[in-house]
Structure 1
Amino acid sequence: MRKINSFLPTELLAQASRYDVITQLLRASLPERLAQHAWYGGTLGEHIIVITDSGNWVTPLRFEQASILAHLRNEAGINAVRISIKVSPDPIPSER
């Protein structure tokens, strides 16, 4: 039986891997109580998209904007000027 990865385009797998790496970097820039509620959702122009699982975390994440931007600039080379926060009640867990 073939693994599911063999059915997916290589580019899609590479992008998923990059998003996972950046999610881990994003979480490293946050206090522990916030880290488990944040995922990297991509970039859009000069914005980093941060996904959270509840509206309760939007304001605390906004307060961490400077830290997030600095950390991702230094560690991932992402030159964004602000974050946009989107709420998705059921994001895909990154736990393995």
Structure 2
Amino acid sequence: MSPKKVNLPIHITGRAFDALTGHLYPGNLGDLKNTIKTLVATSFSKDRYASKINISLHDLPDVILRGIIQTKDHKFKQNNEIIINPSVNMEQLVESNYSSSNELKKNL
């Protein structure tokens, strides 16, 4: 049986995104992928009629949260929200984040 696709935009806070991408996964990308699938499934099961998937810092697994506490660098981005639409591909996602980062740097 193949997994059901939710096909909803994912709204993730900047802090949660930083924690997810900063964590060292033993199984590399496979573990990250499974973590994201679990986060999406959990959010979807909380409200099956929602128009989006919401992920924030408090939704993350304890192992990732413990890693945040143990790191020396507690500098998080502002708690902005990142939106990942179902139709976006990886190149578009990377490009949009790169463009946003460059725009922020110009305004500093």
What TM-score results when the alignment is normalised by the length of structure 1?
0.31
The structure with the largest alpha-carbon Rg is 2
Higher RCO, 1 or 2 (CA under 8 Å, sep at least 6)?
A: 2
When the two structures are superposed, what TM-score results if normalisation uses the length of structure 2? Answer: 0.28
